[in-house]
A = this chain, B = another copy of it.
Amino acid sequence: MAKRSVRNDQKERIRREAAQLFARNGYHGTGVQALSEAVGLGRGALYHHIGSKEALFEEVSRRPVQEMIAVGEAIVAEPGSAEERIGLLCRAQMRTLADHQAEWTLFQRDAMMIRGEVRERIFATRARFEAIWRQLLEEGVASGEFRRLDAVALKGILGMHNYAYLWLDPRGRLTPEEIGDIFCDVMLHGIRAPAR
């Protein structure tokens, strides 16, 4: 058990270092040699842990979004208005993004620069996350809380949040939750049904 745990710690450390390096220099700008130096392991030992650079990239970039999907699905299942649950989703998304900014960057930025099955799986993960937002927006339209907007409005709402990988400062003036509340304020005014 102890041995297993050491191995997991090692793997976690490799993931963290890799996410930082990939985010800093890009997937294509990060060689196995640089990864190997950053984690202080020889190439053989590194490959033993990671399988391949591409497999490591996939794992690192999908993980926070998979966690966010679990959080989002729990929020969707909660009682409360669509508006209240969207408020929770905004906050949770900004928090996850702040806690895993490097990984979120890879998911948004670098995934489109790779090809094949890894890219397909990353895009499928993104589609699952979008589906959570879509469901809450549709529930809000069904309940009369929201206006019916063209589907492309969802892309704009996702963009408000996701684009933060580029500028978010985790030690900035506002907490991720405060930023989520401000985005939500702008966005909810924009989608609310006029009768309210």
Given the complex of chains A and B, what is the CA–CA distance between A24 and B25 in angstroms?
Answer: 16
Does any Cβ of B come within 8 Å of A113's Cβ? yes
Given contacts A190-B185, A190-B189, contact A24 B113 (CB under 8 A): yes
Question: Residues 142-179 of chain A: 1 if any B CB is under 8 Å from the residue's CB, otherwise 0?
Answer: 00000001101101111111111011000000100001
Partner of A186, one of B110, B113, B156, B167: B156
A32 to chain B, nearest CB (A): 14
Partner of A109, one of B109, B150, B160, B192: B109
Does any Cβ of B come within 8 Å of A187's Cβ? yes
Contact residues in B for A160 (Cβ distance below 8 Å): 156-157, 159-160, 163
Residues B153 and A186 in contact, CB atoms below 8 Å apart: yes
A108-152 residues at the B interface, CB under 8 angstroms? 108-110, 112-113, 149-150, 152
Given contacts A28-B26, A29-B28, A109-B109, contact A164 B159 (CB under 8 A): yes
Chain A residues in the interface with B (C-beta under 8 A): 24-29, 108-110, 112-113, 149-150, 152-153, 155-164, 166-167, 174, 179, 182-183, 185-192
Q: A150-B174, A159-B160 are in contact. List 17 more A-B contacts (CB 8 A).
A: A26-B27, A26-B28, A28-B29, A112-B166, A150-B182, A153-B182, A153-B186, A156-B161, A156-B163, A156-B186, A156-B187, A157-B160, A159-B159, A159-B163, A186-B187, A189-B191, A189-B192
